[in-house]
Chains A and B, each alone.
Chain A
């Protein structure tokens, strides 16, 4: 998996994007983000009822008091956020950039090969993958994971690279529990012979034991 960039395999060069209907599925998520980002006041009102039930306090009243476009949980002096103004000013500064370029700009646009730092043989296979992209962060949090990295040596005929990431807790907590359960289950499993006579014997023994207990 890679982010953007060029196709790494020949097959992928002929790959095409999914049909628009398929892509439209993602519009839901976009719409959700937009609604949350632009109309937080309206979203807070239904959520406010939940917090009212849980902690007995509702933000919706203070939020509503400031009007529909300004989000201020406590008061405007303490913290505030007006998404529409934010968007408009953001768009305005974006257009400012375009205007500045229009005024100052005197050149043309030319296409060329990307900078290769003196190594023209570079190809799409050499670009970063998601694996590489996450590498610094993975290395930073290395102690928190159980990582096994297989690095090829420079003399390998067929170099291969692989990382398996495991959770410490899986080995520290869950696997011992699983092993314990298995051991107990094995002991219990011994009871289960599969012969009907034995099962009947169990019932019989239980019955006798109960009767003895009652007698005592």
Chain B
């Protein structure tokens, strides 16, 4: 482990913490533009976080300690996840400690805790959200793993930094299997981040909620942590997508000066990705909850076909 590696690792986590609300803000802004609304400020997410941190927390009468600990755990998981995913540099000391499979496990861990916390209160909405979240989670995870496996078949590695390095520095080759994996990944990340065809992040109707129903009881600092964690999750997922499908422009081992260039490249890539996400969200309608398994089954199938195509075409 070198000092420059440690530096880029810390910088990466810091950038994730700072940039994540911005990405969410950017997606919201694009959405508003596309829907002919006057767009909220790009910095609205930061203001909301500050406001929430300054408010008092209202906790339900019979909430246990678990309810109050869960936001910290979820936030910690998402911070760590954004440290594992290579965003700025592939010189990450954390990457041998956890590969893509451990990353999926980390997301699952956060999901279990937020669901337990939602059920802790004992209201109908919390457990409704928890069971829907679990339904989506257990369908999305295998699909996500399959996507990661199709990428790792090409690079012969499940470590995200190795995947990024191999794909970025090898001579440019068009991989049809990655096209399948890309579509599957888009579907999975829409479901995992509670975006429109699966869940509506701006909904106020309790019966249609998934993610919002889970966090219905949270307020004040706990809600701030959870909102921040949700932004971090979106950021981490976007960065997984960028790593797998557009890995160019990251700093390498032994050349930390490339970090200076890597940051604007990352911002540019995220801006484009966020705009595309907003476009998808605007163009699609929220589906019924029992269509979601179909949606995620499609993602899983596509990822599997990606692997099959890899074996057929050898590319």
Contact = CB atoms under 8 A, between A and B. Distances in A.
B227 interface: no
B77 to A, nearest CB: 7
B158 A128 contact: no
Contacts of B127: 3, 5, 127-128, 132-133
A101 B138 CA distance: 31
Give the bracket for the number of chain A residues in contact with chain B.
35 or more
A61 B18 CA distance: 43
Interface residues of B, number: 61
Contacts of A72: 96
Contacts, number: 170
A109 B97 contact: no
Contacts of B217: 114-115
B138 A86 contact: no
Interface string B217-260: 10011001100000000000000000000000000000000000
Interface stretch (B24-32, B59-67, B302-310): B59-67
A213 B55 CA distance: 101
B122 A116 contact: no
A51 interface: no
B83 A112 contact: no
Contacts of A110: 56-59
A113 B61 CA distance: 6
B131 interface: yes
A115 B125 contact: yes
B98 interface: yes
Given A110-B56, A111-B59, A89 B97 contact: yes
Interface stretch (B113-121, B180-188, B191-199): B113-121
Interface string A73-86: 00011111110011
